[in-house]
Amino acid sequence: MLSARSLFQEILDNDDSFQLFCSIAASGEAQGGWENGRIAALVPDSQRALAPKIARHGADEDKHGRIFNALLRKRALEPVEVPRETDYTMLLEARGIGLAHDKLRRDEPLTERDIVIYLAHSRVTEERASAQMRLLRKHFGSHPDIGRAVKMISHDEDNHLAYCHEELLRLAAAGHGRLIQATLRESALTEIAVYRDVSLAVMAQMGRILAWPRAKAAMLAAGIHAVYAFERAAGWRRMVSLRMPERLDALGGPASTAPEFA
């Protein structure tokens, strides 16, 4: 019977599929680290208090990239090129989610509106990241090879999501509520479509590597389409709600290091 645990165990047990999985994850985290680092450097004066938190977010993402690369090294594997159709962060940017890279490469301060949009986009993508890592933590938190990495990254992703909620609520109270809600809705509907496309592409790559039977590949693809249908109908709403998190000031300190991995 197919399950999230059995599927990921199969990917974990094969060097080639594990190599691709970690390479995709490391690439996305590295891009997120660069983006947050640039945003922290360009924060407008009106939101300077956010700069250390955004920098911390970027440092966490960089750390996650190092962790995935370290997991590869532990198995004497090298990162491989990420197929374009599996590059979640790049495809999101191409669809207008996140601040454009050409803007981030300029040494011009961002606007307060840019920061609001950045946080709204992050709230959506961090919802996905947090949910995915909670699933991995549930099934593999005690795994001897990847358990410690999974728990560390999951904790960070929960912090990132809490930070987005708290800061967006603060900005909503300051008069940005309409922009926040409009951006959240647009971002959520775009993200679920990109996530569907990337999931199909990743499963196609894994099916090729692991020589899945056609029936198994078709069942997985049908499951991905079913998740998309649910999220398109109603599930996206969980990505646009805002609530004050239990964990306040989640990014208020320095980023933790990962010497045991990196």
pLDDT tens, 124-141?
A: 999 999 999 999 999 999
**Domain coverage including residue 180:** 4-239
The residue to which tokens 């955004």 are assigned: 54
In a domain, 22, yes or no: yes
Q: Would residue 245 count as lying in a domain? A: no
What CATH number does residue 83 fall under?
A: 1.20.1260.10
| Domain presence at residue 227 | yes
Q: Provide the greatest CA pair distance for the chain.
A: 57
CA atoms within a 13 Å half-sphere pointing along the CA-CB vector of 162? 14
Which pLDDT does position 218 carry in this prediction?
A: 97
What per-residue confidence (pLDDT) applies to 262?
44
- pLDDT tens across 185-230, in order? 999 999 999 999 999 999 999 999 999 999 999 999 999 999 999 9
As a whole number, mean pLDDT of residues 162-191 equals 98
Q: What is the pTM of this model?
A: 0.94
What tokens does 124 get?
């959506």
- Report the pLDDT averaged over residues 244-249: 95
Specify whether the CB–CB gap between 89 and 122 falls below 8 A: no
Q: For the range 202-210, what are the long-range contacts, defined as Cβ-Cβ under 8 Å and sequence gap of 24 or more?
A: 202/24, 202/86, 205/20, 205/83, 205/86, 206/11, 206/17, 206/20, 206/21, 209/14, 209/16, 209/17, 209/20, 210/10, 210/11, 210/14, 210/17
Q: How many domains does the chain have?
A: 1
Q: Confirm whether 205 is domain-assigned.
A: yes
135 inside domain: yes
Does the residue 246 lie in any domain? no
Within 10 Å of residue 97's Cβ, how many Cβ atoms? 22
- Is 128 within a domain? yes
Residue 255 within a domain: no
